[in-house]
């Protein structure tokens, strides 16, 4: 096809990593034509490169895997997205930001279910690929997807900001919050998870918070929201199940400590859910695409995993993946995306500590290659 050569050309161009501070600078109020132009110019040249690289990644899969309907569907989606966005990279002085932004919205929507679809595809191709190769492909794909969506959504948000003339003194710059209060988001996420936990188990643990609960930093709320929801879901579920097993009338509380340091914001989530056996510790971060693919077929309403996934989907939080075997690897990928980390420490027979560390934006962390 006509676009095959173009895809090779674009895919061979280097990625230009985006930094949080760059994204913030683009949208620094007052939003000027020039800064919108700068962001648009970056998106217009960068997205085709990133999409072309995704197309190429699919082309490296074993031939038979590429014939799988689910895999092929996502491959075609990337190919078509490249075709629809590539023309926008040519104009030197484009005046079609609104049309471009509509295209990006379409891209974001159409790619919404990529990961469960890919999971389904790879499940059917198990006999043709090693699990490590699938995991490497998924790591690369999911990492790239985060970046593509970040650039697209920032552009969409800035165009909307310009359209609505919204220059109110809110703390948002596009999809970035310059005054994100982690304690507040922890509260919001733990209330949400507790409700689902209550619904599935008839009980939920209390959340106790201490440390620097007034701290604020610059971050992407939807990323932190995803990470926290995922971690809290695991912590609450383990706590309630372990309390039942021990015949406790009340599940013990989850303790959360927030600290605001020179370079990072740290969040420690401490549960008394019995901990994770040594042999299972590594597995916690492995893609379990079996569960993702299966969940939509046979949903067990008594299972908090599927229950939460279903409700999270309806409320728009977490998406269709929540708690389905992709949850923790994805949460860790979000944490690492801008140089953060999270570590799970098990106190066997008692509970788990999760240490989440996120860099302040002023350290100008760039998205990291994996």
Contact residues for ligand W6P (CB under 6 A)?
231, 234-235, 238, 271, 273, 276, 284, 344, 352, 354
**357: which 2 tokens?**
């560390």
C-beta closer to ligand W6P: residue 118 or 269: 269
C-beta closer to ligand W6P: residue 173 or 267: 267
Q: Rounded to the nearest whole angstrom, what is the least distance from the CB of residue 142 to ligand W6P in the complex?
A: 18
C-beta closer to ligand W6P: residue 117 or 346: 346
**159: which 2 tokens?**
């165009």
**295: which 2 tokens?**
């969940």
C-beta closer to ligand W6P: residue 335 or 352: 352
Q: Rounded to the nearest whole angstrom, what is the least distance from the CB of residue 139 to ligand W6P in the complex?
A: 19
Residue 10's φ and ψ, nearest 5 degrees, are: -65, -40
Residue 109's φ and ψ, nearest 5 degrees, are: -65, -50
Q: Rounded to the nearest whole angstrom, what is the least distance from the CB of residue 238 to ligand W6P in the complex?
A: 3
Q: Rounded to the nearest whole angstrom, what is the least distance from the CB of residue 323 to ligand W6P in the complex?
A: 11
C-beta closer to ligand W6P: residue 205 or 273: 273
C-beta closer to ligand W6P: residue 220 or 235: 235
What is the DSSP track for 189-218?
HHHHHHHHHHHHHS----EEEEESTT--EE
Residue pair 351/275 in contact by the 8 Å Cβ criterion: yes
Angle at 74 between CA 71 and CA 77, to 5 degrees: 150
Q: Which residue has the tokens 């499940």?
A: 123
Q: Rounded to the nearest whole angstrom, what is the least distance from the CB of residue 271 to ligand W6P in the complex?
A: 5
Exposure of 15 in the CB half-sphere (CA atoms within 13 A): 18
Q: Rounded to the nearest whole angstrom, what is the least distance from the CB of residue 231 to ligand W6P in the complex?
A: 5
Q: What are the start-end ranges of the H helices in 268-361?
A: 278-281, 289-295, 304-315, 327-337
């Amino acid at each position: 096809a006509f676009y095959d050569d173009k895809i090779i050309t674009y895919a061979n161009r280097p990625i230009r990593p985006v930094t949080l501070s760059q994204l913030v600078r683009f949208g620094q109020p007052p939003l000027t034509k020039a800064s919108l132009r700068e962001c648009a110019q970056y998106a217009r040249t960068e997205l085709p490169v990133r999409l072309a690289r995704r197309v190429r990644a699919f082309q490296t899969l074993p031939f038979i895997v590429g014939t799988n309907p689910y895999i092929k569907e996502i491959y075609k989606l990337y190919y078509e997205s490249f075709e629809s966005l590539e023309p926008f990279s040519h104009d030197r002085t484009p005046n079609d930001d609104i049309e471009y932004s509509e295209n990006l919205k379409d891209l974001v929507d159409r790619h919404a279910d990529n990961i469960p679809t890919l999971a389904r595809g790879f499940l059917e191709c198990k006999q043709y690929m090693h699990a490590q190769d699938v995991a490497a492909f998924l790591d690369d794909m999911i990492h790239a997807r985060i970046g593509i969506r970040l650039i697209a959504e920032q552009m969409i948000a800035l165009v909307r900001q310009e359209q609505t003339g919204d220059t109110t003194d809110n703390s948002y710059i596009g999809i970035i919050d310059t005054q994100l209060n982690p304690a507040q988001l922890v509260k919001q996420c733990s209330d949400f998870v507790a409700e689902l936990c209550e619904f599935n188990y008839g009980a939920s643990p209390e959340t106790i918070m201490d440390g620097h609960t007034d701290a604020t930093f610059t971050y992407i709320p939807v990323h932190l929201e995803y990470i926290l929801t995922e971690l809290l879901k695991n912590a609450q579920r383990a706590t309630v199940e372990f309390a039942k097993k021990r015949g406790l009338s009340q599940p013990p509380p989850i303790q959360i400590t927030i600290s605001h340091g020179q370079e990072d914001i740290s969040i420690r989530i401490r549960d008394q859910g019995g901990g994770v056996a040594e042999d299972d510790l590594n597995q916690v971060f492995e893609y379990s695409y079996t569960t993702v693919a299966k969940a939509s077929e046979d949903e067990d309403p008594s299972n908090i995993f599927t229950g939460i996934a279903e409700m999270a989907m309806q409320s728009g939080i977490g998406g269709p993946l929540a708690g389905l075997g992709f949850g923790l690897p994805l949460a860790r990928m979000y944490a690492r995306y801008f140089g953060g980390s999270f570590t799970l420490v098990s106190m066997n027979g008692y509970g788990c500590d999760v240490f989440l560390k996120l860099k302040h934006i002023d350290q100008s962390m760039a998205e990291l290659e994996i």
